[in-house]
Amino acid sequence: MKIPAVKGFRDVLPEESTRWNWIESCARRLFERYNFREIRVPIAERAALFAHSIGESTDIVEKEMYTFEDRDGSVVALRPEGTASVVRAYVEHSLYRKEPVSKLYYAGPMFRRERPQKGRYRQFYQLGAEVLGRDDPAIDAEIIVLVDDLLRELGVARGRIEANSLGCRNCRPAFREALLGYARTRVAELCENCARRLEQNPLRLLDCKNAECERAMAEAPVMRDYLCAPCRRHFEQVLALTARAGSAVVVQPRLVRGLDYYCRTAFEVTAPGLGAQNAVGGGGRYDGLVQALGGPDVPGVGVAFGLERLSIAAGEHRAEPALEFFVAPLGPEAEGEAARLARRLRESGVSVEVESASRSLKSQMRRADKLGARYVLILGEQEIGRGAVTVRDMARKLDFPCAVALSESPEAFLRALRHLGCERPATGHGA
């Protein structure tokens, strides 16, 4: 009986997984260079956490969460994003008492029950970073520059960072009223969803991808005209600092985000080639969130990238051959020696594959070639007899009788390879 994977949940096969590992390790290295440290938060939370943070009247909370009643009656949800969980953990462990500023990053699966299509899945992976404890524009700019660094490092062609200011609790109410006033005059043109949410959350109307709603809202007021002086100054400084650091940011006055916790700086990162799902990442400032989740009044700002979308948008990854040694034992006599040699080499940090001793040398060579091995270590009767392997350099198509006895240390063996004109293989996969 064939049982296929659940719709929108996909397998990541080894080739794609290699690419993901490259992207993930670039992001992790970058986060650490910016002095972020990793936090691992659970994939399930109380559903109320997301309603209180992302917002009751967002698509994510209204329609897309995987929510279920646990056996003890509590209502649990698979996390649709990481920020709420990081803030929950920050409050739960009183991290604000331990350090004035926390810079935390995370990587892992998120779940949203959206309609699956290219670059949009129901289980997807995010790489995210959050700064808690700083409200100055320099840190918003630092996050945006980090975004730019990642795009460059991954070779994302024509990546674009768009930003807007969403104002604060002082200036947004007037904008909300103006938007509401405008939307009421166009309610007949709005989709059912927007018409229903109109009074509750008019900002959501700016986020609707329905063509008629977009048309109806094209002339709507923009937040820029309602920003209070401190918000305006904050945004100008963010833009000046990112420009000074050499990152290009396009101001997009209609940009809003699909989550309600944002204030002031909000941004989205797009790349061509992704179809309708062109956002590879997004983020912004969320100053009221820590307090809304029961903590002190600590500001926050962050970003998250979608790994699947980064993988589509990133440039070519020229990986080093993943496999350094392929041990080719010929006949049952050689089997034990092959396993012993492989283990010792692996212990010294190189990657090794051992083939079955029952296959011919020719078929073993074919497989070594297919796996992209750098060297084949041939262990036949003759080699066992003299206690040393024959080394085939796969790139140069040359065989060398190795002078180092099998009983010697793997380090001596690797040294001997260098004497033969073979480079010492890099340690670790793909290094």
Asked whether 337 and 384 are in contact (CB, 8 A), the reply is yes
CB of 340: closest distance to ligand HAM in angstroms?
Answer: 46
DSSP result, 95-159: HHHH-S-EEEEEEEEEE--PPPBTTB-SEEEEEEEEEES--SHHHHHHHHHHHHHHHHHTT-TT-
Please identify, using beta-carbon distances, which residue of 34 and 182 lies nearer to ligand HAM: 34
Q: Which two tokens stand for residue 220?
A: 């709507």
Taking the least distance from each CB to ligand HAM, the nearer of 268 and 355 is 268
CB 294, min distance to ligand HAM, A: 19
Give the C-alpha separation, 400 to 392, whole Å. Answer: 6
Minimum distance of ligand HAM from residue 350's CB (angstroms) = 36
Q: How far is CA 270 from the centre of its chain?
A: 14
Closest CB to ligand HAM: residue number: 306
Closest approach, Cβ 22 to ligand HAM, in A, equals 17
Select 41 or 174, whichever has its Cβ closest to ligand HAM.
Answer: 41
336 CB neighbour count, 10 Å cutoff? 12
Q: Which is nearer to ligand HAM, 162 or 308 (CB)?
A: 308
User: Do 282 and 269 touch, CB atoms closer than 8 A?
Assistant: yes
With b for 16 or more beta-carbon neighbours within 10 A and e for fewer, the 37-71 pattern comes to eebebeeebebebbbbbbbebbbbbbebbbeeeee
Residues near ligand HAM (CB under 6 A) are: 81-83, 112, 114, 119-121, 124, 126, 128, 130, 258-259, 279-284, 302-306, 308-309
- The minimum distance between CB 220 and ligand HAM, in angstroms, equals 21
Residues paired with 162 in a beta bridge: 250, 268
Task: Give the strands of the sheet with 160-165, arranged side by side.
Answer: 37-38, 102-111, 123-132, 300-306, 279-285, 263-270, 160-165, 250-251
CB of 276 to ligand HAM, least distance (A): 12
Name which of 301 and 422 has its Cβ closer to ligand HAM. 301
The 3-state DSSP class for residue 50 equals: helix
* Distance of closest approach, residue 42 Cβ to ligand HAM, in angstroms: 16
Toward ligand HAM, which CB reaches closer, 55 or 302?
302
Q: Cα dist. 130→36, 102, 133 in Å?
A: 8, 8, 10
Nearest approach, Cβ of residue 367 and ligand HAM (Å): 36
Nearest to 144 by CA among 244, 271, 254, 40: 244
In terms of CB distance, is 81 or 337 closer to ligand HAM? 81
- Please give the single-letter amino acid code of residue 188: A
Task: Pick between residue 281 and residue 329 the one whose CB is nearest to ligand HAM.
Answer: 281
Strand 250-251 relative to strand 160-165, pairing: parallel
